[in-house]
Structure 1
Amino acid sequence: MTTDPSSGARAARRCHDMLNPFHSTHYFSPDLGKELAAVGVTDGNAAYFAVRAAAMGAVGAGTVTATFYNFKHEFVARHVPAVWEAASPETVLAARARAVDSTLRRLLGDEVLASPEMAEAAELALRATEACTRHARPLYAAHADLPVPEEPHLAYWHAATLLREHRGDGHIAALIAADLDPVEALVSHVATGKGMAPKWLLVTRGWTREEFDAAADRLRERKILDADGELTERGVALRHNLEAETDRLDLAPYAHLGEAAVTRLTELATGFTVAALRAGAFPADLIGKAA
């Protein structure tokens, strides 16, 4: 992609950082709740587990906990595998596709979805996925087995999903190598100021405030957090190295795409994601350190 590997990794991460939110818009969309409720899934957390896990089939709680990593197993088990009794994975995937379509139409408008730029973004993102690998990447591999939608905006969303899960699977490997358990991973990410705010993590990941605080204490013992819950110099280095290792494990799709095409995809992805953010795709207090 470039003669400077670190430069290529940074460019790849910038591209991913614009693709990932585009994928995630449907998780906070009322359209998803409406579509899932129509097929019998009325709990919001059950809906999340279902739509993200459905590509793997009617899996149990253990598989979801393993592949999602930072969710409390007992919390997952409240909803999985029971959710498959309400709606099969095939039904859930169809409902998700309808929700993604309506969400993007509402956030971006039909003109943007039908634009040459959207078709170009879909082509570039799908080309990048050609270099993704299935081995030891279960969420990516499961989604890679799904058909590519015909409509450009759905094809682009599908490609963004593949690239997101490919990086996420690699990130879990990096977290394990860094000796960060699920809650420690969340707490240290919050400390960077770039992670989901604790109020959202506690609701969506199933951990208690006591478990969250205990993880922070463990990180203080390891000199990763200071007394105020901020990253120490060691903590900053740990998070930097963690992201660098994730970049390394995720470089192949972007190297395959090439420097110029990555720059163009980032430009297009930024435009779509910024428009979605301005249209209210996510809660205003989603990111940050506030409890």
Structure 2
Amino acid sequence: MKRIDILVPCYNEEAVLHQFYERTSSVLEQIENYQFTFIFVNDGSRDRTISIIRELYEKDARVSYISLSRNFGKEAAMLAGMDYADGDALVIMDADLQDPPELLPEMIAWWEKGYRDVSARRRCREGETFFKKWSSHVYYKLLKKLTSVPVQQDVGDFRLLDRRCVQALCSLRECQRYTKGLFSWIGFEKKEILFDRPPRAAGKTKWNYWQLFNLAVDGITSFTTAPLRAASFAGCLLAFLAALYMCFIVVRTLVYGGDVAGYPSLISVVLFIGGVQLMFMGIMGEYIGRIYNESKGRPPYIAEERGVKRKEKS
């Protein structure tokens, strides 16, 4: 009998955790010939999330958990769960029930047909603002053009991964992870199923626009050096234009003589070029900062507490 692990990263999810467990358990009870294990990862929650997880652990032998020493972020929490998982397949789900557990039977069916990575693609996204949907669409289009990795669009972390995919992801130990891109980078045969993403069942989203912007920067800098190439191209172009302008000034002075007026325009050009240089230095700083962080060799996460898998009582 094959075993499938359900990985659930949690950060301040006390309002919805019981509801998630009950609804998902009811779906799993209808799926025969498989063993299921819950792996809850508490990512430094400040509410009663870890207490609820401990209650579920004592109640259900299928439940195991990892509690991190602080909030390391969802990317690190997912890696912690992957390191702990040892089933034939792994399903990654959010606890807010925006990832409907009712899709699990279909995911498993496609996995049994030979697909290694079965992901859920959002057809519509309820409860999100127009700006968030628009910016997400623009970002994915930009990322697909900048990188050679075929990053999936409108596909989140909700997916079923074969054991080989999990092992490949665990072998990538970078600290500043962009897992959505890593799913595509490791390859393997993929299958997307469409679904309508509902709003959160309870609680508030933990992702604000600043965090989403940082995640977008991580995605771009992790999978492409296109910004550096663009900076080099723009620098060469500006240098060429500056040389042409210098030649124009010299020729004009030789032909017409006298001082050449244009102090305001000169200052404008200097300020413009200075601003462009600072922007390019910022782009290089992003890459250098990531090199610096990775060179330290620190672990992506630190686990403070573990609840190990147990055999079900007969």
TM-score bin, normalised by smaller chain: under 0.3
Select the structure with the greater relative contact order (CA < 8 A; seq sep ≥ 6).
Answer: 1
Larger strand fraction of residues = 2
